[in-house]
Chains A and B, each alone.
Chain A
Amino acid sequence: DQQVKQNSPSLSVQEGRISILNCDYTNSMFDYFLWYKKYPAEGPTFLISISSIKDKNEDGRFTVFLNKSAKHLSRHIVPSQPGDSAVYFCAASDDTNAGKSTFGDGTTLTVKP
């Protein structure tokens, strides 16, 4: 049973428009959520996180929303830029589990000029 799911393997948007990356989870013990970005032939790099005590976290063009009742989080990029094209992973963890993170399968975002 996959505890963290990214149901869209790919997403294509036009430059300047909004990109919305979605992630669903099933484990109600998760209390910390992270987004990572990955380019080909590189390791993932951390982007933004959100704790379960919050429902929104903003960082410039990027905003993460957390809906705990729906066990759903999303990451919005506004405006999208071609340099945002990459694979995005969401991950979830809980303090009781040695800080281990469970990752989704990733969404490949393509931003067209």
Chain B
Amino acid sequence: QVQLQESGPGLVKPSETLSLTCTVSRGSIISYFWSWIRQPPGKGLEWIGYVYYNGSATYNPSLKSRVTISVDTSKNQFSLRLASVTAADTAVYYCARTVGMLDYWGQGMLVTVSS
């Protein structure tokens, strides 16, 4: 069964760049799309974007100007960068395998934006 694990700093200062990595194990990153999703405390789910294993990425228009999602097939990892963060970006960030629907999810990582 595919497993995903998010990693990265849990605290980011306002105006800086949030960077997270998702490591995929017990399965290959090849031939799938891979998404980032976030959930502010007490709120609903928001899709950030996804990347195909060949590096082609698609983003939520609401975040497109600040987001970059990339993939490293040699490490079976994909990454999220979100620039110019504010307190509104405080959320649990999930990575997930995407086959249209999101069938395997990481455990999630709380990222707090605060000085």
Asked if A pairs with B, the answer is no
Residues in chain B within 8 A of chain A (CB atoms)? none
Residues in chain A within 8 A of chain B (CB atoms)? none
